[in-house]
Amino acid sequence: MEWKPRSLGEEDKIKTLQEGIGVPFEIANLLVQRGIQDFDTAKTFFRPELSELHDPYLMLGMEAAVNRISTAIESNEKIMVYGDYDVDGTTSVALVFSYLTSYYPDCIYYIPDRYEEGYGISKKGIDHAKKESISLIIALDCGIKALDNVKYASELGIDFIICDHHLPGADLPDAVAVLDPKQNNCNYPFKDLCGCGIGFKLIHALSQERGLSLETILPYLDLVAMAIAADIVPILGENRILTHYGLVQIRDQPREGIKLFISGLKRKLNVSDLIFVIAPRINGAGRMRHGSQAVKLLLCKDPKDALSIGRAIELFNSERKALDQRITEQALNQIVENQEQNNYSSVVFQPDWHKGVVGIVASRLIETYYRPTVVFAASGDFFTGSVRSVKGVDVYQILESCKDHIEKFGGHRYAAGLTIKAEEYIPFKKAFEQAVAAIIKPEQRVPSINYDMEISFDKITPKFYRIMNQMAPFGPGNFRPVFMTKNCIDAGKSRVIGEDKTHLKLYTIDDSGLTLSGIGFGMGDHISRIKSRDSFKLLYTVEENEFKGKISLQLKLKDLRF
């Protein structure tokens, strides 16, 4: 792994900010690196305010969407809230459905079956809407490319409101309203909302229409925070505000459906918990059974029912873990057997692989072979695949160049999904490899990690940590600061830990003379050199560790180099 230092801020700007807000030089540098250079910007950054949220009516199509929903309610029409089966989709559905049904009961929700219907708006879902006498469908986290199916719905007398955040194609669906900040001519100032974020803007506009204050919809922000974290959108601008208040909502008043998952946390819940604790479980329902289970859990108000559904979802998640471990092993073996270790890309398929975990497997493969990756599973007469990419390589653009071999695809710069005919597998695999080879640069074939600054241990004080932690919520665009320290040696108590002794518990001292402890998962093989008192460099973040009621600072190691 290549270590890349971020550019230090300009020293005069750092010192001006340091004096202006009264923080250590190192904190001021972290802020300047993030574009925060004066008191007012720092105040907004450290104290996100709801008043900084944009007017939802700045979004193209919002007025038409609100008018159509108001007309539906006045005319006693039946409304369907439709969303994808992942975290962003299920939280979006739970948000808009629970908001609407708080004052208009004639609504149902629908999550497509991952295996029968696939991603996005399906004909089966529209047929179900027709059968249920639905005349308006609000689609969330999907639909921006569903031209044919929106047209099909229109022929059945069903209107659509599309709330999506994916990149639009050349043409838009013929819906009553399309809410997507990425569409042409949309002047909404913030372009990086997730699907649930756009759902929130919709209920914000509906609340304004009803003469209600923003405060009345704050309880829904827990769902938005979960979606922002799971969908890996930048935690900047509006997303930072929404995540901040969403975390407050979860900490203070967690909904019954997620209490089981966070009950074991001994510290203040953060974005990492949303990503690694809550999101896999909500996703697990759609991967292993049906996404509607996740919505049911998020809507549940009865503690006994929530516990029952939560335990079932916990089992789905355990089943998913075992599956993705087995399939990852098989995929790695396939790459070796086909002598593809030195390819520019990885494209793998096996008929019995589970469609619900191919995205996770693609990410796992990148940990071993750092390159754009596609993992396919069989789906009837077709193969469906998940695509994951590496830093700086736009897989959406690559799929665009391979579209002659693809039935349909959609997604983002770094993650996408696609469907191909079975007979197109080998032609697609060759085309994908050629397309990646044509654009990938040598430096993009090596994993790298950026660190913010070099620092000595004596700078890492409780005050330093307390101020740094106020820079949260951390995530894309505002990652938790990563530091580098040179000339570290073993302080005498370093050891390997864990059942299989693969993890490193480090006690180290640096040139400043201060000793700190650290944890390095999977770094146990370094122990003999550490014990030999060889000097080493560390890359790490700083976190709090609680042991026997005592809280101390520790290093969470990212890499170690002799």
Q: Residues 504-539: pLDDT tens digits? A: 999 999 999 999 999 999 999 999 999 998 999 999
- Of 114-123, 355-364, 453-462, least confident by mean pLDDT is 114-123
Per-residue confidence band for 356, with pLDDT thresholds at 50, 70 and 90:
confident
* Separation CA 413–CA 67 (nearest Å): 34
Per-residue confidence band for 150, with pLDDT thresholds at 50, 70 and 90:
very high
Per-residue confidence band for 76, with pLDDT thresholds at 50, 70 and 90:
very high
Shared-domain flag, residues 519 and 540? yes
Shared-domain flag, residues 149 and 285? yes
Any domain includes 541: yes
Q: Answer for the pair 338, 296: CB distance below 8 angstroms, yes or no.
A: no
Single residue among 445, 462, 486 that ends a domain in this structure: 445
User: HSE (CB half, 13 Å, CA atoms) of 51?
Assistant: 2
Shared-domain flag, residues 384 and 513? no
| CATH number for 462 | 2.40.50.460
Shared-domain flag, residues 359 and 293? no
- Residues near 394 by beta carbon (within 8 Å), at least 6 away in sequence: 413, 414
Shared-domain flag, residues 75 and 170? yes
Any domain includes 317: no
Any domain includes 412: yes
Shared-domain flag, residues 461 and 479? yes
Nearest to 188 by CA among 53, 51, 47: 53
Any domain includes 373: yes
| pLDDT, the chain, mean | 95
Q: Residues 397-425: pLDDT tens digits? A: 999 999 999 998 887 788 899 999 999 99
Q: Residues 215-271: pLDDT tens digits? A: 999 999 999 999 999 998 999 999 999 999 999 999 999 999 999 999 888 788 999
- Helix/strand/coil for 550: strand
Any domain includes 318: no
Shared-domain flag, residues 177 and 293? yes
Q: Residues 82-131: pLDDT tens digits? A: 999 999 999 999 999 999 999 999 999 999 998 788 778 999 999 999 99
What's the number of domains the chain is made of? 3
Q: Does the pTM of the predicted model rise above 0.95?
A: no
Residue 548: is its pLDDT beyond 90?
no
Q: Over 27-91, what HEC string results?
A: HHHHHHHCCCCCHHHHHHHHCCCHHHCCCHHHCCCHHHHHHHHHHHHHCCCEEEEEECCCHHHHH
Any domain includes 7: yes
Single residue among 445, 476, 494 that ends a domain in this structure: 445
For 426, the domain range is: 325-445
* Separation CA 427–CA 347 (nearest Å): 11
Residue 469: is its pLDDT beyond 90?
yes
pLDDT at residue 550, as a whole number: 85
pLDDT at residue 243, as a whole number: 97
Any domain includes 421: yes
Read off the pLDDT of each residue in 318-347 and give the average, rounded to a whole number.
96
Residue 334: is its pLDDT beyond 90?
yes
Q: Residues 273-326: pLDDT tens digits? A: 999 999 999 988 888 788 899 999 999 999 999 999 999 999 988 998 999 999
Q: Answer for the pair 510, 457: CB distance below 8 angstroms, yes or no.
A: yes
| CATH number for 386 | 3.10.310.30
Any domain includes 181: yes
Shared-domain flag, residues 396 and 259? no
Shared-domain flag, residues 125 and 11? no
- Helix/strand/coil for 296: helix
Shared-domain flag, residues 346 and 363? yes
Q: Answer for the pair 188, 60: CB distance below 8 angstroms, yes or no.
A: yes
- Helix/strand/coil for 461: coil
Q: What is the largest CA-CA distance in the chain?
A: 79
Per-residue confidence band for 178, with pLDDT thresholds at 50, 70 and 90:
very high
- Residues near 85 by beta carbon (within 8 Å), at least 6 away in sequence: 111, 112, 113, 114, 119, 285, 286, 290, 291, 294
Per-residue confidence band for 546, with pLDDT thresholds at 50, 70 and 90:
confident
| CATH number for 247 | 3.90.1640.30
pLDDT at residue 216, as a whole number: 97
Shared-domain flag, residues 40 and 61? no
pLDDT at residue 443, as a whole number: 93
Shared-domain flag, residues 436 and 513? no
Q: Residues 422-438: pLDDT tens digits? A: 999 999 999 999 999 99
pLDDT at residue 85, as a whole number: 92
Single residue among 427, 445, 463 that ends a domain in this structure: 445
